[in-house]
Structures are given as structure tokens and as C-alpha cells.
Amino acid sequence: MFDPNADSPLFHPAVEEPAQPIDVRVDTFETQTGRLMLGVGVNSNSGLVGNAVIDEQNFSLTRFPRSWEDMRNATAWRGAGQQFRIEAAPGTQFSRYMINFHNPYLANTPISFGVSGSFFTRLYQNWTEQRTGGRVALGYQFLFDPNLTIVGSFRGENVNISNPTQPSPPSLSAVVGNNTFMSGKVELIHDTRNNAFLPTQGHRLAIGLEEAFGSFTFPRATIDASQYFLIRERPDTSGRHTLMLSTQLGFTGPNTPIYENFFAGGYTTLRGFYFRGASPTDMGVQVGGRFQFINSVEYMFPLTSDDMLRAVAFTDFGTVEQNITITGQNFRVAPGLGLRINIPAMGPAPIALDFAVPVHQAPTDRQQMFSFFIGLSR
């Protein structure tokens, strides 16, 4: 019988040649790391807000300019992978000015360091609030799970309350003028979302414990959780249908001042209500509460083949209470429909237009069936 594997002058086993190195030339170009952004946003919570931002994602705190050439070719203050941001956001109801520095890998370790300073002014319905202060934070990214981070921070602010509604409830009268607010906070964050602006998969869980002191001393605990389920998509991964579930749970101590209470109502909490309009009241003033339980169920799906237009069906429900309890009388439920419009020139955050109808509310709540965000995310 003929054996093709047998030794013969006609059949020899194949001999593999040793692998030879191949020279490969790779040309790389550094992408733009700094940005100057100018824009305008408008939303139903804060009115019209301008925005001017200087943002550098490859900043170097120690790379001082050594010559005019370093300034001309933009190599000064760059190269260490640090983040530096200056933001000015003047508005009709809300204004914020902030400077922020963040080093994600301090001394080449998984420890991050951040420091920021800010000036904030907000015209609320029942008072004007102005805050001046700063924050220092240290974070650690766990090696066994890069999605898990623990952050410890210290915040110090001067809080000025002026122009209170007259007559004022005792909780508002007690804080008129300057107040010192300082707090230490520890937060554990697990984030597996595939996109910060329009996630379609993953989850984000943040558990925070905070102790405040200064003019008022009180503890605070918060849980902020969201889960995204990818229901279906096209073969090219576009056209995604996403189900989102979210919960905001919070507790704060009995000595909490009115400006640190929980409030509900508006695009970021309970749609179908005015900003802070689904909150406890005293003498007709929205005073907020020491307990919040806010939830949302949302289904998003595309309306166009390029995914620039999406629709959402949602239900927001929950409550804010002056005491740690849930009462059926004050429980809010608001189902609704909305649109998400993506315009590439306006960045990754979509324009959001939502229409919600409260089907259960507290007697003192104020309805706002239409809410919108332009240039900002929920």
C-alpha cells in the first residue's frame, strides 16, 4: 500500500522555515488635546446659560515655558496626561465659574488627585443662593477591577442666602446671610457603562457617605444606581434599543440646613413637575426634605437610520419627604414620551425634549408637563 508519509525521494515532510523579523514603519501623529469651546445651552431647570471652556487633557503642571518657542509651538504646560479646565457659564437663572485640575495617575500610581475652585449663583423661586469654595479629592482605582473606584474628598464653601420670600418659614430664616459649609465624603463607584452621554449597556453604582460641619453639622448617605440593557440592535451595532432603570436614594440628618435638603421636580429628577416643584413646602416655600426616593424606567429606540433622532417612553416616580418615610399621599408618578436629537456639531450630548403628565402627586406640587435640555445631559 502506498504511504504518502513514508520516506522517499518524492515525498519529504515539510520543513518550516524559522520566523524572520519584518521591519514595520508606523507613522503616528499626536491628536489635539486642548480645546476652546464656546456655546449656549438652554433647559427648563436653569434657563439660558452661556458657556466658555478652556480644556486641556494632556496638561503638565511642572512643564514651565523655557522660551518663546515653547509658547509658540504649544509645548509649554503639556505632556503629562493631566487634565486642566477653566469654565465660565453665565446665565439668566444660574451662573457658575470654575477652575479644575485633575491628575488621574499621581506619581504613576492608580491614585488620582483633583483640586477645584468655584463660584456659583442660583436664583431659586424663594431665595437667591451664592456659593464660593473649593474641593480636594483623592481616588484609587482598584487593580483587580478597573471599573471600581473609591474617592475621598473634602469640600469647603461659604454659602450666602439672600432675598428670601416674605414671610419666610423658620428653616429659611435660619440660614439668611453667610453660612460656613464643610464636609468630608467617601464614595465608592462602579461604572461599566459603554458611553457617558448615551449609554446602551452596563451600569453605574455610586454609594456615598458624607459628614458635614461648620454652621450646621449633619450626616448624609446617598445611593445612585442606573442599569442599561441592550434589547436589540442592527448587525452593524447601530439602531440600538435600550432599557434603562435608575434609582436615587438619599438620607440626611435632622440638622440639615434648607440649602442642603433633597428636592425633586424637573428634568434631572421627576419630569412632569417644575424644577423643585415636587418637594415638601412650608408656608408656601419649597423647603425640601431629609429623604429622597426617585426612580425612572425609560425605553429608548431609534426613529431614523442614522440614529440622529431617537424616541423615549418613560415613567418617573418617587418622593421627597421631610422625614425618612414614604407616604402614599405624596408619592409622585409621571409617565411620558420624549425625543433625543443628536447634532454632531453640538457634541455628544443630545437635545432632549420630554412631555410628561403626572398621574399622582402631592397637593402642593406644581406641574410642568414639557421639559427640555439643550447642550446638557440628564
Q: Is the dihedral of CA 174, 180, 183, 189 positive or negative?
A: positive
Q: What is the DSSP letter of 267?
A: T
Do 91 and 46 contact (CB within 8 A), yes or no? yes
Q: Domains for the chain: give ranges and CATH numbers.
A: 33-103 (no CATH), 120-374 (2.40.160.50)
Q: Give the confidence band of 8 by pLDDT, cuts at 50, 70, 90.
A: very low
Q: Nearest to residue 216, comparing CAs of 162, 290, 142?
A: 290
Q: Nearest to residue 203, comparing CAs of 222, 230, 226?
A: 226
Report pLDDT for 30: 61
Report pLDDT for 66: 81
**pLDDT digits 0-9 by tens, 52-79:** 999 998 888 888 888 787 777 777 788 8
> What residues contact residue 203 under an 8 Å CB cut-off, 6+ apart?
190, 191, 192, 193, 225, 226, 227, 228
Q: What is the mean pLDDT of the chain?
A: 89
**pLDDT digits 0-9 by tens, 338-347:** 999 987 766 6
Q: Is the dihedral of CA 6, 9, 11, 13 positive or negative?
A: positive
Q: What is the mean pLDDT of residues 80-101?
A: 93
Q: Please give the distance of CA 99 from its chain centroid, rounded to a whole number.
A: 17
Lowest mean pLDDT among 51-65, 158-172, 187-201, 258-272: 51-65
Q: What is the mean pLDDT of residues 319-323?
A: 94
Q: Nearest to residue 13, comparing CAs of 24, 3, 25?
A: 3
Write down the pTM of the prediction.
0.85
Q: What is the mean pLDDT of residues 183-199?
A: 94
Beta-bridged to residue 267, according to DSSP, are none
Strand ranges inside 163-217, DSSP E:
177-191, 202-214
Which one is predicted more confidently, 59 or 170? 170
Q: What is the mean pLDDT of residues 171-185?
A: 97
